[in-house]
Amino acid sequence: MGDMALLDSRPALRWFAPAALVLVVGGSSLVATNATADPKLPTVSAEQLLVDLQAPKVDGLSGTVRQEADLGLPALPTSGHGESTEFRSLLSGVHELRVWYAVPGKSRVAVTGAYGETDLITNGTDLWTWSSRTKAVTHATVPDHEDPAAPAGADVPKTPQEAAAKVLAAVDPSTTVSVDSAVDVAGRAAYELVLRPRDTRSLLTEARIAVDGETRSPLRVQIFGRDQRTVLDVGYTAVTFTRPEDSTFEFTPPPGSVVTEKTVPDHAASRGERDETQDQPEAVTTVGTGWTAVAVRKAPEGVAAPGEELQGMLDQLPKESGTWGSGRVLRGNAFSAVLTDDGRMAVGAVPPELLYQALER
């Protein structure tokens, strides 16, 4: 489902929060085992479920999602009441969201919190956010070749579909996959696909995807850290697989709204430019593979020279040093991050010690 995180300029959210879920891995082979499902569902292999998840039999749905996150982030500054405030709150605690989805390229997510309701809407190439509290509206047009309904990679998932996409991106030879006993989610019988890392050094120990027995759509995703701590649990409490009316995704700024036009980067064009010039090296270096991969890069400009909001977060982090250098270290429940004093950043779903090793290379 669509995401306005592409428009969010807050580097604290883009570089620290998603690290637990964005595992920089690749590949396709895996070790899979089967389990006998509940009698109300036929037995299916893990490989088949992985295939089915890529093309669920769904052209639309609507429902209510319960989302709970415990990433171990320090308290974020709460100043400001912009359109991202309610979505920023999804970084911790328990929240309820209403969602609508229709193919092709239509989605709507609404979250209600202390600052009112915030809606996130994609309709074709149009992306909108709207805050009931501030009357602020943000609009952007996505390039034709971009997919506005695809989940963005730098955001805490708001729906099971977004969470499943992130988890499935981590399936590689370092992952074992099996099918557990059937479960019931939102009153629907579902298979439970279980993914576990082979490398015990990962802070993430298991991911479970409840796959609807009829539509093969994700109904719930749970990600666990060490000591079986739940770091993310996002699932439907009610869902109907009926395509919503197109009017659900039509949006006209209410009278009195302040509309801000944003620009979405043309990722395909920028990739092409790098390919043509061949003088712009890849910004991220990956050390290791699979669930213990560490991403090392030069800190983005907004992080290397943090504004007041990000600086408030960094000031809460301990200062550490070693043969790798010195800097601020975040020890989260699902990931660690280091921002060095010389302007480098290392992030991974691993203890800080593995980040230090990566920084020394």
User: Cα–Cα distance between 361 and 359 in angstroms, integer?
Assistant: 6
**Tens digit of each residue's pLDDT, the chain (361 residues):** 444 333 333 333 333 433 334 333 333 334 444 444 555 799 999 999 999 998 899 999 999 999 998 888 776 555 444 445 556 666 667 889 999 999 988 999 998 877 678 899 999 999 999 988 888 999 999 776 444 444 333 467 888 998 898 888 777 788 899 999 899 999 999 999 999 998 999 999 999 999 999 999 999 999 999 988 999 999 999 999 999 999 999 999 999 888 999 876 554 444 444 444 444 445 889 998 888 999 999 987 767 677 776 777 788 899 999 999 999 999 989 999 999 999 999 999 999 999 999 999 8
Q: What domains does the chain contain, in order, with CATH numbers? A: 4-263 (2.50.20.10), 280-359 (3.30.310)
Q: Which amino acid is at 217?
A: S
Q: What is the pLDDT of residue 157?
A: 81
User: Cα–Cα distance between 222 and 183 in angstroms, integer?
Assistant: 13
The neighbour count for residue 342, using CB atoms within 10 Å, is 11
Classify 147 as helix, strand or coil. Answer: coil
User: Cα–Cα distance between 328 and 337 in angstroms, integer?
Assistant: 8
| Chain centroid to CA 203 | 17
Q: What is the pLDDT of residue 280?
A: 43
141-177 as b/e, with b when 16 or more CB fall inside 10 Å? Answer: ebeeebebbebbbbbbbbbbbbbbbbbbbbbbebbeb
Question: What are the backbone angles phi and psi of residue 318, rounded to the nearest 5°?
Answer: -70, 150
Helix (H) or strand (E) holding 16: none
Classify 94 as helix, strand or coil. Answer: strand
Give Dmax (Cα) for the chain. Answer: 59
Of the candidates 337, 346, 342, 340, the one whose C-alpha atom is nearest the C-alpha of residue 297 is 346
